[in-house]
């Protein structure tokens, strides 16, 4: 009986110790404030999240440019792309001559010839732009049409406009209003919505009107000036009246 009593006491002590241990270290633990719930992983970041390009943009960026020489038949490539390349080649050659002329010392430089080089380069780029427009009509596949637009039509248009814009600004600095008008009109033929060309032509028109109004005032007052600046202003107004242009 004494042994049974001792055994019962020992079992009670063991059970008590085990219960205390479970109370101090339970089998479950409360979730940490920032820890994700078990069995419920965090969702993937949405497409277009900061720092990450959307899948469609990534695919477009990785897509190589169309090689038109491989995409088109040899005959079609020769007929529609070669003429564009020829115009570009001629433009680059003329610009090379321009750069060579401008590399000379200022006293040896022929400014008139340099200007002619740039004007010819603009014409060649314009011809390349126009031939690219024609080429798209001769290529049935949309993908190849887009390639012609991106590789030739848009770049050649922009190069021609860039040169014509620079030439027009130079003409205005030299008070060659007729030349400036001619170049701005050419830009509008290439790009009818070109804001800069529209704005500059409006400025020239406003200048001509102001000069005309001032001249009429001088006549009414019996005054008048015969200096060179007045003569140039008169020439501006005379040219515009003789060669009107249409403003959009």
Cα dihedral: 132, 133, 134, 138 (round 10): 90
Examine the pLDDT at 13 and tell me if it is beyond 70. no
pLDDT digits (tens, 9 = 90+) for 164-184: 999 999 999 998 999 999 999
| Between 34 and 109, residue with greater pLDDT | 109
| Between 210 and 162, residue with greater pLDDT | 162
Quote the pLDDT of residue 215.
Answer: 57
Quote the pLDDT of residue 104.
Answer: 94
Q: Which of 109-113, 215-219, 230-234 has the lowest mean pLDDT?
A: 230-234
Examine the pLDDT at 233 and tell me if it is beyond 70. no
Quote the pLDDT of residue 221.
Answer: 56
8 Å CB contact between 229 and 175: no
Quote the pLDDT of residue 115.
Answer: 94
CA 215/CA 175 separation, integer angstroms? 19
Mean pLDDT of 226-248: 44
Report, in angstroms and rounded to the nearest whole number, the Rg of the chain calculated over CA atoms. 39
Mean pLDDT of 4-29: 53
CA 163/CA 113 separation, integer angstroms? 15
pLDDT band at 246 (very low <50, low <70, confident <90, very high): very low
CA 72/CA 80 separation, integer angstroms? 10
In the chain, the percentage of residues whose pLDDT exceeds 70 is: 60
């Amino acid at each position: 009986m004494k042994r049974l009593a001792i055994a019962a006491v020992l079992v009670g002590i063991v059970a008590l110790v085990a219960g205390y241990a479970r109370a101090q270290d339970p089998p479950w633990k409360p979730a940490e404030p920032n820890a994700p719930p078990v069995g419920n992983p965090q969702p993937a970041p949405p497409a277009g999240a900061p720092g990450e390009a959307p899948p469609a943009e990534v695919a477009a960026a990785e897509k190589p440019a169309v090689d038109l020489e491989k995409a088109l038949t040899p005959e079609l490539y020769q007929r529609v792309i070669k003429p564009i390349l020829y115009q570009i080649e001629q433009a680059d050659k003329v610009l090379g001559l321009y750069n060579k002329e401008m590399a000379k010392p200022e006293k040896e430089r022929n400014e008139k010839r340099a200007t002619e080089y740039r004007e010819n380069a603009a014409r060649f780029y314009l011809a390349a732009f126009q031939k690219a427009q024609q080429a798209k009509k001769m290529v049935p596949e949309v993908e190849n049409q887009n390639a012609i637009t991106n590789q030739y039509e848009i770049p050649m248009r922009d190069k021609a406009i860039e040169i014509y814009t620079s030439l027009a600004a130079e003409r205005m600095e030299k008070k060659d209003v007729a030349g400036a008008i001619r170049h701005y009109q050419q830009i509008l033929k290439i790009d009818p919505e070109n804001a800069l060309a529209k704005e500059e032509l409006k400025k020239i028109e406003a200048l001509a009107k102001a000069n005309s109004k001032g001249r009429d005032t001088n006549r009414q007052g019996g005054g008048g000036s015969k200096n060179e600046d007045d003569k140039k202003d008169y020439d501006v107004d005379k040219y515009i009246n003789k060669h009107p242009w249409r403003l959009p």
